[in-house]
Amino acid sequence: MTAPVVSLRQVCKVYGGARPRVALADITFDVARGEFLCVVGPSGAGKTTLLRCLAGLMPPTSGEAMFEGAPLRSVPAGIGVVFQDYGRSLYPWLTVARNVELPLKVRRVRRPERSSRVAEVLASVDLADAGRQYPWQLSGGMQQRVAIARALAYRPDLLLMDEPFASVDAQTRFELEDLILRVREEFGVTVVFVTHDIDESIYLADRVVVLSRSPGAVTEIVDITLPRPRDQIATKSDPAFAGYREHVLGRVMSR
Amino acid sequence: MRRYLSWLGRAATRVWLPIAVVAVWWVWSAHSKSLYFPPLSSILRTLWTQWVTGPARAQLASSLSHLLTGYVLAAVIGVGFGALLWSLRYVRDATSPYMYFLYVLPAPVLVPAVMTLFGIGFTMKVVIIAFASLWPTLLNTLDGMRGVDPVKLDTSRVLGMSRVRNVFSVVLPAALPQIVAGLRSSLQVAIILMVVSEWVASTDGIGYYIVNAQQSFDYLGMWSGIIVLAIIGIVANLLFVVVENRVLHWHYGARAVEGAR
């Protein structure tokens, strides 16, 4: 049994101000290496807050968030993040290739290796030919694939995704779900995926962490033992899938 | 071919009115006997003999050197100091009342003071132009940098950027549309102050030439100077637009796409 990539111990987050608001209350769970973990909960459950704590973008008020054995104080080099709003997180003044290349430049990767890695990672998100275009020239789904490529370019150990497919249409969403499953195999990356969509969480995950409405607390952690590789039609029509959905939905709705 | 035609159409929409105005002026003034309102043809002849082939070329060169030096200084100080104020909150809070005071102060009233300090030469004019045209760039830089989307800043942290790299790779480009808007108003202010500084106390420059011509009843010279000023304004603005379209092509591209969606 290897050490967990992420471990959260009694993490609480309270937003200050005149009327303090508890966003996260006593969150404890581990993420194992290579695991695909989904966090699902209604809006106001502190999902984004949890992800920001996991990314090291924001310190918890109390409790401890650890990444690979070390407490998270800033964003570690081994974490990639895909934000919900690709339009705001991609840099419109850079071409697709330069967006993807930027974290490699920051890490002082040499030029020949940079371009081969950019080509490789763009190919694995099916955007091999889009490098010279600007993000805003692409469709929403393609832009989010650029964001995924950028987060994977520096080969992080952990990929954090904050409702990444919430602003694309349903068809594109299914394609992106399959793409992320494939890419995760290819890069051997651990994934924490935040979503409000219960079907999506069950379809993708090895385990689903169910959060309750504010303050966000872990209601239950559900093991998903559906066979892999998963398939949009076969997996979702599996009676076991319906069982999970009913169960998770029940936990989300419960107060 | 089709593209070329549509470009031609757009160009025609923009230039027909100026051409018409010039034509009306030409015809209307052709037989003018008025000393104050000479025929346009005579004005243009004076313009040619004075400003293109004649002695006024020196005035033109002098004015342009004030303008260029003052404006470049204003741009560099404006963007640099704006960025500094953005990154140092303490300094920003401490200086903002004075900044707004200096910003609303009409720059021409400073001419006597600056004259006292720097005499009436090159330095005085450059200082006046730089000081007056500094503010739009500075305030727009500060404002643009403060308005950078927090998601872009989160992204730069996630990608592991240092503070310095974050400023140059993310904050400056993200604020660039607004910085450029500031630079454009600074340019207009700089041209105005170029003329004003030459009116008040000077022995050279276009402003001096115009006032001098008016006072010595050389109305042809006066009108030709005014036209030269207008041409400077138009050319400066055109150059600015060319540079702007190159530097901000991504911004206009993205905005056009947003508009179409």
Residue A173 is predicted with a pLDDT of 95
Each residue's pLDDT tens digit, B28-48: 988 888 888 899 999 999 999
Summarize pLDDT for A89-127 with one digit per residue, the tens.
Answer: 999 999 999 999 999 999 999 999 999 999 999 999 999
- Tell whether B233 lies on the interface with A, counting CB pairs under 8 A: no
A134:B158 CB<8 A: no
Distances (CA, A) of A250 to A27, A201, A236, A253, B72: 20, 14, 18, 5, 66
Residue A255: pLDDT above 70? no
3-state secondary structure string, chain B?
A: CHHHHHHHHHHHHHHHHHHHHHHHHHHHHCCCCCCCCCCHHHHHHHHHHHHHCCCCHHHHHHHHHHHHHHHHHHHHHHHHHHHHHHHCHHHHHHHHHHHHHHHHCCHHHHHHHHHHHHCCCHHHHHHHHHHHHHHHHHHHHHHHHHCCCHHHHHHHHHCCCCHHHHHHHHHHHHHHHHHHHHHHHHHHHHHHHHHHHHHHCCCCCHHHHHHHHHHCCCHHHHHHHHHHHHHHHHHHHHHHHHHHHHHCHHHHHHHHHHHHC
Q: Are residues A66 and A183 in the same domain?
A: yes
Task: Write out the residue range of the structural domain in which residue A111 sits.
Answer: 86-155
Q: What percentage of chain B exceeds 70 in pLDDT?
A: 99
Q: Which residue has better confidence, B92 or A108?
A: A108
Structure confidence at residue A169 (pLDDT): 92
ipTM of the assembly?
Answer: 0.91
Residue B260, chain A, CB below 8 Å: the answer is no
Res A250 pLDDT > 70: yes
Query: Residue B261's pLDDT is what?
Result: 63
CB-CB contact of A209 with A247 (8 Å): no
Chain B partners within 8 Å of A74 (Cβ):
157
Together in a domain, A169 and A250: yes
Same domain for A187 and A237? yes
In order of their start, the domains of chain B are 58-218 (1.10.3720.10)
Give the confidence band of A184 by pLDDT, cuts at 50, 70, 90: very high
Q: For B208-216, what is the mean pLDDT?
A: 92
Q: How far apart are CA B78 and CA B85, in angstroms?
A: 10
Residue B82: which pLDDT band, with cuts at 50, 70 and 90? very high
Based on the fold, state whether residues A1 and A50 are members of the same structural domain: yes
Looking at CA atoms only, how far is residue A125 from chain B in angstroms? 19
Q: Does residue A1 register a pLDDT over 60?
A: no
- Residue A64 is encoded by which pair of tokens? 């401890």
Q: Give B172-209 pLDDT, tens digit per residue.
A: 999 999 999 999 999 999 999 999 988 887 888 999 99
Same domain, A67 and A4: yes
- A108 and A178 in one domain? no
Q: A163 with A147, same domain?
A: no
Q: A99 and A71, same structural domain?
A: no
Confidence of residue B253 (pLDDT cuts 50, 70, 90): very high
A111 shares its domain with A235: no
Total domains, chain A: 2
Residues of chain A whose beta carbon is less than 8 angstroms from a beta carbon of chain B are: 55, 57, 74-75, 77, 79-81, 83, 85, 88-89, 91-93, 102-103, 106-107, 134, 136-137, 150-151, 154
Q: Band of the pLDDT at B118, cuts 50, 70, 90?
A: confident
Residues A73, A185 share a domain:
yes
Residues from chain B contacting residue A151 (CB–CB below 8 Å): 158
Q: Which of A155, A187, A216 is the last residue of a domain?
A: A155
**Least CB-CB distance to B160: which of A89, A91, A103?**
A103
**Does A251 lie in the same domain as A227?**
yes
More confident residue, B214 or B104: B214
Q: Say whether B254 and A80 touch across the interface (CB within 8 A).
A: no
Same domain? A200 vs A177: yes
Please enumerate in sequence order all residues whose Cβ is within 8 A of that of B19, keeping only pairs 6 or more positions apart, or say none.
none
